[in-house]
């Protein structure tokens, strides 16, 4: 690469380049169409944030309501589960008593065989 290929603009070159840019801007700015003034992005942002917060509050309300409903549904189920466990315990005790009564009777009725 030769040093001639890397010619950097001089101060005069930069001044001329900026003058051309400025001239182009002077031509284009009057032709530019101004956008209708609407809500500025800064104003729109709090509105979106407010909507998000409202939705978040509604969601939290639904979640709280669902949690309350689940607790209300759980109370009778817990009572039923306890009643069933108590019934099962009583059933197991009755079965154990029945086994104690019938097993000795069965042993007495079965003849013993001598294998000798």
Q: How far apart are CA 51 and CA 54, in angstroms?
A: 5
- Reported pTM: 0.38
2-6, 30-34, 83-87, 96-100: lowest mean pLDDT where? 2-6
The strand ranges marked E within 1-116 are: none
Question: Average pLDDT, stretch 26-30?
Answer: 76
pLDDT surpasses 50 at 95: yes
- Running DSSP on this structure, what letter comes out for residue 33? P
Token pair 């992005």: residue: 41
Average pLDDT for 83-91? 95
pLDDT at 53 (0 to 100) = 92
Asked if residue 17 lies in contact with residue 9, where contact means CB atoms within 8 angstroms, the answer is: yes
Give me the pLDDT at residue 116, please: 47
Q: 35 vs 68, which has greater pLDDT? A: 68
pLDDT at position 92 is 95
The Cα–Cα gap between 24 and 28 comes to 6
Q: Given this model, what pLDDT does residue 64 score?
A: 93
- Using the predicted structure, report yes or no on whether residue 65 has a pLDDT greater than 90: yes
Tell me what the pLDDT averaged over the chain comes to: 79
């Amino acid at each position: 690469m030769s040093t001639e290929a890397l010619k950097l603009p001089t101060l005069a070159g930069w001044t001329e380049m900026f003058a051309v840019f400025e001239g182009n801007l002077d031509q284009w700015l009057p032709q530019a169409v101004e956008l209708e003034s609407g809500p500025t992005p800064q104003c729109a942002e709090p509105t979106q944030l407010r909507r998000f917060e409202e939705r978040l509050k509604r969601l939290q309300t639904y979640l709280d309501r669902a949690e309350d409903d689940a607790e209300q549904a759980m109370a009778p189920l817990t009572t039923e589960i306890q009643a069933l466990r108590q019934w099962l315990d009583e059933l197991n005790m009755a079965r154990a008593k029945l086994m104690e009564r019938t097993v000795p009777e069965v042993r007495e009725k079965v003849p013993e065989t001598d294998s000798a």
